Amino acid sequence: MSDAKYYAKAKSAELQAELEQAWKKPGKKPAAKVDVVLKKILANTAMNNSDMILMMPAVIRIMSSTGNDHVDILKLCCNYLTSYSDLDSRNVINDALPILTKWLSSSSPQLRILAIRTLSQVNRRPFIDAALHATIAKLNDSDPQVRKVSCYAVARLYQHAADQTDVLIHKLNDMLLEESDTVVLASCLAALSSITDVSPKFAFALTKQHCQVLISRLEQANEWGKSYIINALMGYVPQSGDEAIDLIEAVMPWLSHENTAVVLNAIKIIVYLNNYASEQSVLLALPTLPKRIGSSLVALLTKPSELEFLVLRNAILLLLGRRYLINVDVSMFFCNYDDPIYVKDTKLEIIYLLADSTNVARVLRELEEYATEVDVQMARKAIRAFGNLAVKVPEAATDCVNVVVELLSHGVPYIVQEAAVVIKNIVRKYPHQFNSALVELIKHYDVIDEPDAKASLLWMLGQFGESINGSNRILASMVTDFDNDAFEVQNATITAAVKLYLKQPESGEATMLQVLKAATEQVNNPDIRDRGFMYWNLITAPQPPGAEWQAITKKVVLNPQPGISGENDTIDPAILEELELNIGTLLSIYLKPVRAVFRLSKQKRLMPSPALQPRPINKRSSSNRNSQQSAPEIPQPRPSKFGVHSNSGSASAASSPIRSSYADSIGSSFDGGDSSPTKRPGMMKRISRRIPSVVGGSKNDARKL
């Protein structure tokens, strides 16, 4: 019978009849028929069929009448019992508890395992009391499988009665030195780790003696036991750099293991121990370590796509925090044609992080192939990568721009959209050096309709409008649908219109008035209206005697833009440290602090020690922080993104991690005026009369406009 047939919805009366029929025909293998009925009951339980609760008396009767030779049936009964124990507590406590208590003294290890597992899973006071007494005894059971299940029972009991498990936890702690079976030892470590991850009272800490015992048992453990044991070594705090290096050397052989969990845990403990030894001492004592780590990561890329993705995300974490610990050729991360898009996306990010002046030529050739792929999503990501590389590696900027311009010349809409964002980043990094790219982009402005691309083009019109032929005409054509534009496009439009007005007052005044009128009288978004009123106040503010026309406004609006950088060192060191302590977990995929993913989990921190090394502060990070203090409107870059980053405005760009992660607002950002202004009739008319004379014009001209 296939598993799918078990999942047909059934009524309790029908299943009860099947059970009675099975027991009435001895010699017809009733156990097999009972097994089928129980599987149907559990399948219906999984489908939330509430009628199955009526089967509790029948299931308990099967438990009491089935012998040791049908353990599979008893397992199914116990699974049903734990599923409905909260809903039918009377039958469970009165009838099932004596059966489970009887199994605890059975000569069969399998029955003892079923008893201790079921007692610890049922969150009822009588069951918890029975499990607490039974677990103390079963932790010393002669059978290793019983001891293994008892270790996990301690972790479950901690969830139900944390204040009554201190004795059990101390017993697990003693077993770390006394336990002879490696499987039980690994289970003990797993239980302690589960408890300490959520307990405010206990912390997982090992002595040097514990470490020596655990390392000596690594060879005997199976692959999951190795994973638990290596992970547990993070509980030891080295007191000197030599101790840390010795532990790294002891863990290094497991970098070549076939199991992904073993390798990632080995990398995690190596990264952890590097906090207690200087970079120079580690590389001097273990010169092959970076190559070993790089080779182990490359070997894991042959795993299934899901595991490959996990490995790639952890490789990003290493490249961001401990670049000196990984030595690998960038070609190892080139995309294969059959890679899923999420793997290709992550590989592109790693290619960007590994790119430098020595390998950028190979990287550009590879990216050019991606940019011409049939897969539009991949082609867009590759085009975005060209812009990021142009900012990161100045030596390759010309080659990157040439490729982007060549692709742009075809006029393909999605290429034009991505190229707009890319060229914006490039001209910010290298002002007036690549005007040819800007000229080529302007030829295709009419196909730009995506918010990010449109905002980028508007920023360039405002910033370089005086050198772009027909900039006011292009801007006027882009503001026709101002009311329906996205928020970031409206912000960019307002700033671009004001900038062009200040640079070209005669030709830019009409568009500026049109945009500010729409922003202050037609748009309902209070932020856009605040921005519009703020610019009105700037433009109409009285000028100091003898000052240049609109001197105050120019000083505010046309101030120099902060530079952008291709370095990825703006992640908060505290967050980066926490992520390194969670390599191989979900946090390494999300790249978020533990409290943002698991609300009840404790945050891991490095414990103090005489050997603890201060985390180096990158000079660029320091300068970025200083620039942020001088410009408080600039938001902190988010740590979950990578690529080019800058110290300006709000983020733009596409969904790819290769996108620019720096704040990417178009123009300047301001906070001015009332947060919720109300429309005032005639406001536009009164303000327009206060606009100072433009060069070559008069106030009457302004009133007419």
Q: Which of 561, 590, 620 finishes a domain?
A: 561
Q: What percent of the chain has pLDDT over 70?
A: 85
Share of the chain above pLDDT 90, in %: 43
Q: How far is CA 276 from CA 247, 376, 466, 603, in A?
A: 11, 46, 56, 19
Q: Are residues 359 and 404 in the same domain?
A: yes
Contact 347, 333 (CB under 8 A): yes
Q: Which tokens sit at 8?
A: 């047909």
Mean of the pLDDT values across residues 405-424?
90
For residues 396 and 421, membership in a common domain is answered with yes
pLDDT tens for 645-655 read 333 333 333 33
pLDDT classification of 25: cutoffs 50, 70, 90: low
Query: Bigger pLDDT: 544 or 320?
Result: 320
Judge contact between 155 and 191, C-beta under 8 A: yes
Region for 653 from its dihedrals, namely left if φ exceeds 0, alpha if ψ lies in -120 to 50, beta otherwise: left
**pLDDT band for position 566 (50/70/90)?**
low
Mean predicted confidence (pLDDT) in 517-543: 89
Over 60: is that where the pLDDT of 395 sits? yes
Residue 384 Cα distances to 65, 118, 446, 479, 612, angstroms: 69, 55, 20, 26, 40
| Backbone torsions φ then ψ of 83, nearest 5 degrees | -70, -35
Q: How confident is the model at residue 596 (pLDDT cuts 50, 70, 90)?
A: confident
Which has more pLDDT, 621 or 97? 97
CA nearest 37: which of 50, 25, 21?
21
What is the rounded end-to-end Cα distance, in angstroms, of the chain? Answer: 83
Residues 231-257 have pLDDT tens digits of: 999 999 999 999 999 999 999 999 999
What pLDDT sits at residue 65? 84
**pLDDT tops 90 at residue 54:** no
Same domain, 483 and 432: no
- For residue 397, is it within any domain? yes
- Would residue 324 count as lying in a domain? no
d(CA 466, CA 470): 9
The boundaries of the domain holding residue 400 are 329-446
Classify residue 613 by burial, with Cβ atoms within 10 Å: 0-12, 13-18, 19+: middle
Count of CB atoms situated within 10 Å of the CB of 36:
15
Question: Same structural domain for residues 441 and 463?
Answer: no
* Contact indicator for 266, 255 with CB cutoff of 8 Å: yes
**Cα gap 46→10, rounded to integer Å:** 12
Task: Please work out, in degrees rounded to the nearest 5, the angle formed at the alpha carbon of residue 354 by the alpha carbons of 352 and 357.
Answer: 95
- Does residue 454 lie in a domain region? yes
The answer on pLDDT for 452 being more than 50 is: yes
- Give 494's Cβ-side CA count (13 Å radius): 28
Q: Which amino acid is located at 543 in the chain? A: Q
Question: pLDDT per residue over 326-381, tens digit each?
Answer: 999 999 999 998 899 999 999 999 999 999 889 999 999 999 899 888 888 889 99
Distance CA 512, CA 518 (A): 10
Q: Is a pLDDT exceeding 90 seen at residue 669?
A: no
Looking at residue 681, what is its pLDDT?
A: 36
Are residue 463 and residue 422 in the same domain, yes or no? no
Instruction: Give mean pLDDT, residues 420-444.
Output: 89
State yes or no: pLDDT of 21 exceeds 90: no
Please choose, from the candidates 410, 483, 426, 491, the residue with its C-alpha nearest in 3D space to the C-alpha of residue 454. Answer: 491
The whole-number average pLDDT for the span 311-325 is 92
Last residue of one domain, picked from the residues 399, 421, 446: 446
* 508 part of a folded domain: yes
pLDDT tens for 271-288 read: 999 999 999 999 999 999
- Rounded distance, CA 568 to CA 574, Å? 15
Mean pLDDT of 509-528: 90
Which of 643 and 283 is assigned the larger pLDDT? Answer: 283
pLDDT higher than 50, residue 694 = no
- Check if the beta carbon of residue 523 is closer than 8 Å to that of residue 529: yes
Nearest residue to 74 via CA among 97, 55, 100: 100
Range 677-683 average pLDDT: 37
In a domain, 406, yes or no: yes
> What is the pLDDT, as a whole number, of residue 457?
92
The secondary structure element, H or E, covering residue 188 is helix 182-198
Does the structure show a pLDDT above 90 at 634? Answer: no
Structure confidence at residue 616 (pLDDT): 60
Q: What is the pLDDT of residues 6-18, one digit of tens each?
A: 888 888 888 888 8
* Domain-embedded: residue 522: yes
Which of 446, 473, 498 marks a domain boundary? 446
Is there a single domain that holds both residue 470 and residue 537?
yes
The reply to whether 409 falls in a domain is: yes
Confirm if 280 and 613 have CB atoms less than 8 A apart. no
DSSP 523: -
Per-residue three-class SS string for 507-521: HHHHHHHHHHHHHHH
Q: Are 461 and 468 a contacting pair, CB within 8 Å?
A: yes
Note whether 418 and 433 are same-domain residues.
Answer: yes
Assigned token pair, 227: 């994973």
CA–CA separation, 100 and 95 (whole Å)? 9
Q: Quick check: 169 and 202 in contact, CB under 8 A?
A: yes
**Residue 1 has what pLDDT?**
52
Total domains, the chain: 3
Taking the C-alpha atoms of residue 160 and residue 158, their distance in angstroms, rounded to an integer, is 5
Identify whether residues 553 and 599 lie together within a single domain: no
Beta bridge partners of 663: 647
Quote the CA–CA distance of 433 and 420 in Å, as a whole number: 16
CA-wise closest residue to 588 among 146, 244, 267: 267
Residues 495 and 554 grouped into a single domain: yes
pLDDT at site 240: 93
Residues 435 and 524 in one domain: no
Whether the CB-CB separation of 644 and 387 falls below 8 Å is answered with yes
Strand 645-646 to strand 564-565: parallel, antiparallel, or no bridges (unpaired)? antiparallel
Tokens of 693: 């004379």
Q: Which alpha helices (DSSP H) does 633-705 contain, by range?
A: 683-689, 699-704
Q: How far apart are CA 210 and CA 214, in angstroms?
A: 6
- Rg of the Cα trace of the chain? 34
Give yes or no for residue 658 having a pLDDT over 70.
Answer: no
Q: What pLDDT shows up at residue 581? A: 92
Q: Is residue 201 part of a domain?
A: no
Q: CA distances (Å), 622 to each of 190, 388, 625, in order?
A: 40, 21, 5
Find the mean pLDDT for residues 384-409.
90
Same domain, 442 and 459: no
Read off the CATH number of the domain in which 427 is found.
Answer: 1.25.40
C-alpha distances (whole Å) from 224 to each of 81, 127, 261, 286, 365 are 29, 30, 8, 27, 42
- Average predicted confidence (pLDDT) for the chain: 82
User: Which residues 6+ apart lie within 8 Å of 361 measured at CB?
Assistant: 396, 399
Co-location of 428 and 457 in the same domain: no
Q: What is the DSSP letter of 617?
A: P
